[in-house]
Amino acid sequence: MRLLACLLLVWVCAFAPGLATEPDDPGSPYIELELFARALQLVRQDYLDESKVSYKDLVHRALEGMLEDLDPHSQFLEPKNFKTMQEETRSEFGGLGVVVSKKAGLLTVVNPIEDTPGFRAGLLPGDQILKIDGLSTGKTPLADSIEKLRGDVGGKVTLTIRRPSTAEVFDLTLVREIIKVPSVKEARILPARPPSNLRIGYVRITQFSEPTASELAEALDRLEEEGMQALVLDLRFNPGGLLHSAVDVCGEFLPPNTLVVSTEGRHEVREYRTRKNTTASRGFPLVVLANHASASGSEIVAGALKDLDRALVVGETTFGKGSVQSVLALPDGSAARLTTAHYLTPGRNPIHGHGVPPHIALPIEAEDEIRILENRRRRESPGGNETFEWDRQVECAVDVLQAGRLHQARLAQ
């Protein structure tokens, strides 16, 4: 046992040089590691099922439990899950296209990614996944549930879903696909709404991945060539993504070297700014649409553009997921995804647990949300109708832009 404890201490010295006792924790970490080593030895020696007690499996499960118990967003990533996460940030991966998290102990759909099996099957934000292929998700670690949702392309997976809004429970059988996610969609000039002839553009961002900012720049260039004079930026149902991608999206609308968001952790405060070498920002009037399912990167963009008086925000208070997860690679190819800080908007408003409130609050009913998502599915299905379908929040955004234009025209008289 002491040999095992010594080996653990060697590992700590080699790979965790920052480990130290905190002022409110007078104990020694090495004493606690000896306790862990003793428990590890006893499980390895005496547990009935020998196939479950390799040192690697035991240590990985211990790390998994330790991180998952901290908060819903911290987790241990097995080497294959870490690799999959890296692939996702490049906007191409295999699976069902469902962003999930643990909420009140239940595996919950944060958002189905558009044009994926989960989206086309009709999954909605807030749906609870009770079972995957007949196995309960209740006590399954988040990383393991995510792994079960993924698999061979063409393989089937059956989900047992509970929909809280209706209390119905039903099964969905989906087929895994390679998920390619264009994150900027439906860039277009909206149909004119009398009495104004203002040419208003519309762009929807589904998530923030590596190519998002460049995709947005291309879409805006094209719309400006078509005579766009104002823009509605739709971030509804956007679950977030990469921090630097959200900052770069803000860079399309803000001057160079502008503070977009800061992170405040235990040991440091960091600032994230638009690039110093960006070209002049686009100056057209801007309205951002957000709702309760706009999270993380969406909240960074909405919060920055709101605080800096660059855009009006219309819709609902956002999700309130404003914690920063740092992914720390470990020596065996695994990683720890650890909450290390909270986001603050340029006005130093916290996002986590609060969300970004809109300038103009316009909540919509659950059936209207379902209709919006169904319309998106229909437009993106093979042979789908490309006609834009209005909803109350888009109409309000357009009315705001038209009213601003009329007010400017009166001032100029």
The 10s digit of each residue's pLDDT in 35-67 is 888 999 999 999 999 888 898 989 999 999 999
> What amino acid occupies position 4?
L
> Given 185, 234, 321, 323, which residue is catalytic?
321
The superfamily in CATH containing domain 92-180 is PDZ domain (2.30.42.10)
Task: Give the per-residue pLDDT at 92.
Answer: 56
Task: Give the per-residue pLDDT at 130.
Answer: 96
Q: Cβ–Cβ contacts within 10 Å for residue 96, how many?
A: 24
CB-based contact 157:176 (threshold 8 Å): yes
**49 a catalytic residue:** no
Q: Are strands 312-315 and 286-290 parallel, antiparallel or unpaired?
A: parallel
> Which of these, 398, 2, 359, 54, lies nearest to 195 by C-alpha position?
398
Task: Give the per-residue pLDDT at 91.
Answer: 54
CA 235, chain centre distance (Å) = 12
Task: Give the per-residue pLDDT at 406.
Answer: 61
Q: Which residues of the chain have pLDDT under 50?
A: 1-3, 5-17, 413
CA dihedral 343, 345, 347, 350 (to 10 degrees): -40
> Given 91, 196, 245, 296, which residue is catalytic?
296
**Tens-place pLDDT, residues 210-259:** 899 999 999 999 999 999 999 999 999 998 988 999 999 999 999 999 99
Task: Give the per-residue pLDDT at 280.
Answer: 58
CB-based contact 389:188 (threshold 8 Å): no
**307 a catalytic residue:** yes
Residues 208, 91: Cα–Cα separation, whole Å = 9
**276 a catalytic residue:** no
Instruction: Give the start-to-end residue ranges of the domains of the chain.
Output: 92-180, 184-412
| Cα-based distances in Å from 111 to 35, 58, 125, 136 | 41, 33, 5, 21
> Which of these, 356, 275, 270, lies nearest to 308 by C-alpha position?
356
Task: Give the per-residue pLDDT at 12.
Answer: 46
Task: Give the per-residue pLDDT at 15.
Answer: 46
> Given 127, 234, 248, 307, which residue is catalytic?
307
CB-based contact 108:130 (threshold 8 Å): no
Helix/strand/coil for 399: helix
Work out whether the CA dihedral 187, 191, 195, 199 comes out positive or negative: positive
Write down the pTM of the prediction.
Answer: 0.71
CB-based contact 305:311 (threshold 8 Å): yes
Strand partners, 326: 338
Task: Give the per-residue pLDDT at 325.
Answer: 84
The correct answer on CATH 3.90.226.10 for the domain covering 184-412 is yes
Task: Give the per-residue pLDDT at 274.
Answer: 95
